């Protein structure tokens, strides 16, 4: 059961109000993504501050995304990872029951499993559900790197593991993956190199920047997937300034600040240990945003 979920995907921020999940704002943000041409929304990943959400909040975010995208062409790739395999399995089962189209499962953080441990972790998750599974490799955040041969092994051994979100920042890793398994779907997890990954055979992006500029991100991806590489590169170059500044501090600190500056979220709140950006960086974010036409609701 290899699937073909692909295209322009947004790693959604999670808005808070008075310390609590702002459900109304979350729904509005997703509706804006749908309106502005995104193919898939990704609730409760790294950008969604999943590490500091309660389990109830995590589930509510998935439910809102599924309900908001119902009767549209936009898919839901639900964040459902954990560094405890049993917890990841529970979240994966919930996402399936809720109606998510697929799950995104991050490499276990902190406990530093071996490659064999990673293989068994993801195989158990995949075997617990029928919906498609996307592996999520982000070693800079997790301290755990899904090696190319482990990803390929999982793809070949598990019918529903069809893709990997590659956020190592390494183009060589993408080349390695696709040279060894051209049928594996590779999604860019690093906005600055969206175009190079797509040009090398990637099948989509899971973007932070598309919270702010979904229309431009969608155009870039769709041009690349249609073989219009010069147009895609031009957009990637145009987005470079904002892509860089949105990672001047730990994600999602800058993107939430940018969304607040743009009037897309009413309150700028994070969950500790994350906090607002420095005044210097806030100014840099504001300056970079002046180069773009940011669409409202």
Whether 16 and 53 have beta carbons less than 8 Å apart is answered as no
- The answer, yes or no, to whether the previous bond of 40 is cis (omega within 30 of 0) is no
Catalytic residue among 26, 119, 136, 195: 136
Report the alpha-carbon distance of residue 108 to residue 76 in Å, rounded: 22
Catalytic residue among 75, 165, 203, 256: 165
93 is catalytic: no
Could you identify the residue written with the tokens 């993107």? 255
- The answer, yes or no, to whether the previous bond of 90 is cis (omega within 30 of 0) is no
240 is catalytic: no
Quick count: other Cβ atoms within 10 Å of Cβ 131? 22
Beta bridge partners of 8: 205
3-state secondary structure 35-52: HCCCCEEECCCCCCCHHH
Whether 194 and 205 have beta carbons less than 8 Å apart is answered as yes
Active site residues: 136, 165
């Amino acid at each position: 059961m290899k699937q073909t979920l692909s295209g322009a995907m947004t790693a959604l921020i999670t808005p808070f109000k008075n310390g609590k999940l702002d459900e109304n704002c979350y729904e509005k943000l997703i509706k804006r993504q749908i309106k502005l041409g995104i193919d898939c929304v990704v609730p409760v990943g790294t950008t969604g501050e999943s590490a500091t959400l309660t389990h109830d909040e995590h589930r509510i975010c998935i439910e809102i995304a599924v309900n908001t995208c119902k009767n549209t062409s936009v898919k839901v790739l639900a964040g459902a990872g954990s560094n405890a395999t049993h917890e990841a399995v529970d979240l994966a089962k919930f996402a399936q029951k809720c109606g998510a189209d697929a799950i995104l499962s991050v490499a276990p953080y902190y406990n530093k499993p071996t490659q064999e441990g990673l293989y068994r972790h993801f195989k158990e998750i995949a075997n617990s559900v029928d919906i498609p599974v996307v592996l999520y490799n982000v070693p800079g955040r997790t301290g755990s790197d899904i090696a190319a041969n482990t990803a390929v092994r999982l793809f070949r051994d598990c019918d529903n593991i069809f893709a990997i979100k590659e956020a190592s920042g390494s183009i060589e890793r993408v080349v390695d993956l696709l040279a060894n398994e051209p049928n594996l779907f590779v999604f860019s997890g690093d906005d600055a190199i969206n175009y190079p990954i797509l040009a090398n055979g990637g099948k989509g992006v899971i973007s932070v920047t598309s919270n702010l500029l979904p229309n431009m991100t969608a155009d870039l991806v769709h041009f690349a997937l249609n073989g219009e590489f010069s147009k895609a590169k031009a957009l990637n170059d145009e987005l470079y300034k904002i892509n860089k500044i949105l990672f001047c501090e730990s994600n999602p600190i800058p993107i939430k600040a940018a969304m607040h500056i743009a009037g897309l979220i009413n309150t700028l709140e994070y969950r500790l240990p994350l906090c607002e950006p420095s005044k210097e960086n806030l100014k840099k974010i504001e300056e970079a945003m002046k180069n773009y036409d940011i669409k409202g609701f």
